[in-house]
Structure 1
């Protein structure tokens, strides 16, 4: 998508920011892409480029789906490019979405939504892997497999592998539990560990509260080889410790059926030692199920099992690796497909056997549900989203449809226009309602206009623009330290002549508290810009329909590398995460909002930028003006 340059470096954006971060869209070959994410967020589904005036046809799993332009009763809506935005994602949204243009060109989106409350941390490697010299495998380093657990019987030193699934639960092998007679009293779980023999910085050792073996586990055939370990204390996630993702069942089936390679990890026997001192990894390829069965003709291979082996002879899982994970990557995330179960001689011609985790998803969820108690809650939530009542914060702020987060209505969104304008596009600036009488917008947009020349339109995104509610302006207050050259302190407050009544269509956005650090802001790194403007170029006419564009906050360091130190403490920058759309012309003053604990918070207003579609956009950081805004609003 093309980005154009403005003469004063201004860009107008509308951002609607969704918390937790990012929707991972991973390009694949030809006309098919993989999209993997967790529930409760959004994904953008790709469509071939074509005439934006003609809506493409969309199907899910070959069945037609209805996408409303108004998007008032759906979680699906069209972007300007023809792409589809699916919000508030659920596990049931997983499937193959196909977009077909009028010319017959199509693109397939394989969507995998994991039902998760782990706040976007599962399956992420925190450090890049390194090569070094499981049996014939390679060494690993801290952060490469942060979900890896070492399960140790304390009196005998026997160990098994396991995988951390969340703050309290580890999944492992029932064979391991029975073979070593593991009990809560004799077992500890080590997390964040690489070297088996010594204590390490960042390592956490956790007592076990209980062990649950799959009730239909068969000790003779090793069918149903799965067990869950409940930890006694909560595990805090960090760079060395984080959970693995469990893919939806259909996704797991597809990942096993395509027989691509994954990785197994463990501290088991190597070529020269009964156990490895350091955590090792081996790359193994899933075999055909028929090959798995024929290779183990003297043993029963059930539908709860699959096999994997190496293309290179001499690489395999071995004794001591049991219970460990077999994982595969989609995009930047890793998913648990199997549990190391059993095999014959290490690195033999017969492939190793793994438990199919997807066959036990329902049982895993049920065990965790039945054991759930009040102390199972995730670690205390950050106070980033805390609401403190003030002249510019109230308990009514940031709610959409009684808390339901859908992009069909941003009730704090306003357009500020010049009355009796002679221009074809009289909209001058966007803004945000912060209480019943006050709007915050850009000083660079409005400083030269007197209140009598302005009117405010509360825009219902599902309704035509000419049906928007209009209010007159009593007075404006530009920040006293606004610098027109640097765009420092680029904010203005507008007081309405008539206070508005809060309804489902009109209510204020929340503002972050003034003590939020840059690091905390960057943690709230995803959402949307919304507004009336052009999503491709400043040179094109402004579209009079409201656009919604996903954005992500950049780090301050990266912003200043791009803008040569021009991003000050009262600013931040963010870049579109859409494959085709950006906020180009007509978006000045548009809010970037993010959702925290159900509420929507305005992080900033689009202030300036360069080359639409190439560089990030710079925003006025609203919470830095909290004290000034509260003072102005409190004046009689």
Structure 2
């Protein structure tokens, strides 16, 4: 009797231990991968087959240093919740001694950059998202994160799309504050992933809440940024747009996308269009926007872009739509269309600079516990 109870007790303990290990080390949970071990084998450079191990980003000085010197994004192994593990070259430990430990070390700056909640969400989406075929985006759903904001007609149940936006998480769309009220009405729906608004492409989603930047004044174009919270989370397969965290832009063309609208609430083609633009300096852009338009001139929280080569014949994006920059296989939102002047070789347009508002965005989209329920909102759900 005692012997049977003893073996039964031992078997139960072994079973509980196995279940505990499975609970502690799940392979995946809702789009987040957890590692089998603390350090896994990997290749820091696939072409040169440089061996490495997966480490926490802050524990890999070589990756941090290379980001600072060459702007090379570390290769992500996986995420444990929001802790980023990168492939760290095996010889990186020896190079760590060459990194200064004085107040001039690059670690604080890099840590602040790489630990942004929006960066981590973007990296997680890269690990689990849909890759771009052959290094070039496909024509169908080339920009799956593009959103079209819809208003219900006063005369029937028709939906009219008047502004654009960008899906930046499973439940949030980034847009312009001036898009929130059109004719005194709030948008009621968002269409995602549609290449054409008239042939039933894309998916429609109801808006739950609206967040307008507290510094926005509808008499000016400053702080022209807003967030829409959707009623339901989007499937993990729908690629989100990343947010550019640096105030400086890379030396590359920018891309504006939209449904062909020339101005806010203007006529559109219903077909999603794109145009290559170039960054325009403040000194070059300011003369196009006198004090009557921008009372305090162009702010640091704004940027300008235009088709300075006069190569295109489409418009510079919808109001609220994204100004994009390509970095590797990902699209980053660097601006939100605010003041559009027209198409092709016309004056440059003004965009809200996303990097200036990351603290506000992250506090709503990826809030810390103390940041929740602190932002003014418009709740669009019907009260009982």
Q: In which range does the TM-score fall when normalised by the shorter chain?
A: 0.5 to 0.7
Alignment of 1:445-594 (within 5 A): none
Q: Kindly tell me: are residues 18 and 314 of structure 1, through their superposed partners in 2, closer, same or farther at Cα, counting changes over 3 Å?
A: same
d(CA) in 2 for partners of 1:282 and 1:311?
12
Q: More helix per residue: 1 or 2?
A: 2
Q: String of CA shifts for 1:551-602, please: whole Å, max 9, x gaps.
A: xxxxxxxxxxxxxxxxxxxxxxxxxxxxxxxxxxxxxxxxxxxxxxxxxxxx
- Residue of structure 2 in register with 1:120 after alignment: 124
Q: Kindly tell me: are residues 284 and 216 of structure 1, through their superposed partners in 2, closer, same or farther at Cα, counting changes over 3 Å?
A: same
Matched, 1:165 2:168: yes
Q: Kindly tell me: are residues 321 and 259 of structure 1, through their superposed partners in 2, closer, same or farther at Cα, counting changes over 3 Å?
A: same
d(CA) in 1 for partners of 2:185 and 2:251?
33
Q: Kindly tell me: are residues 122 and 212 of structure 1, through their superposed partners in 2, closer, same or farther at Cα, counting changes over 3 Å?
A: farther
Q: String of CA shifts for 1:282-332, please: whole Å, max 9, x gaps.
A: 111111122121232343222221100123316377487111111212222
Alignment match of 2:312 (pick from 312, 315, 340): 315
* Structure 1 contact 129–141 (Cα < 8 Å) conserved: no
Structure 1 runs not aligned, ≥5 long: 4-13, 67-88, 96-110, 132-138, 373-636
* Structure 1 contact 93–113 (Cα < 8 Å) conserved: no
Q: Kindly tell me: are residues 93 and 305 of structure 1, through their superposed partners in 2, closer, same or farther at Cα, counting changes over 3 Å?
A: closer
TM-score (norm 2): 0.63
TM-score (norm 1): 0.40
d(CA) in 2 for partners of 1:188 and 1:344?
27
Matched, 1:268 2:309: no
- Residue of structure 2 in register with 1:212 after alignment: 211
d(CA) in 2 for partners of 1:61 and 1:283?
43
Alignment match of 1:253 (pick from 240, 247, 250): 247
d(CA) in 1 for partners of 2:339 and 2:131?
30
- Higher radius of gyration, 1 or 2: 1
Q: Kindly tell me: are residues 311 and 292 of structure 1, through their superposed partners in 2, closer, same or farther at Cα, counting changes over 3 Å?
A: closer
* Structure 1 contact 151–159 (Cα < 8 Å) conserved: yes
Larger relative CO (CA 8 A, sep 6+): 1 or 2?
1
Q: Kindly tell me: are residues 355 and 63 of structure 1, through their superposed partners in 2, closer, same or farther at Cα, counting changes over 3 Å?
A: same
Matched, 1:303 2:341: no
Q: Kindly tell me: are residues 126 and 160 of structure 1, through their superposed partners in 2, closer, same or farther at Cα, counting changes over 3 Å?
A: farther
Matched, 1:32 2:33: no
d(CA) in 1 for partners of 2:101 and 2:284?
33
- Residue of structure 2 in register with 1:187 after alignment: 188
d(CA) in 2 for partners of 1:210 and 1:229?
6
Alignment match of 2:85 (pick from 17, 21, 42): 42
Q: String of CA shifts for 1:385-417, please: whole Å, max 9, x gaps.
A: xxxxxxxxxxxxxxxxxxxxxxxxxxxxxxxxx
Q: Kindly tell me: are residues 126 and 151 of structure 1, through their superposed partners in 2, closer, same or farther at Cα, counting changes over 3 Å?
A: farther
Residue 166 of structure 1 and its aligned partner are, at CA, apart by 0.9
d(CA) in 2 for partners of 1:54 and 1:60?
13
SS at match of 2:335: strand
Aligned residues: 293
- Residue of structure 1 in register with 2:13 after alignment: none
Residue 46 of structure 1 and its aligned partner are, at CA, apart by 7.8
d(CA) in 2 for partners of 1:16 and 1:217?
47
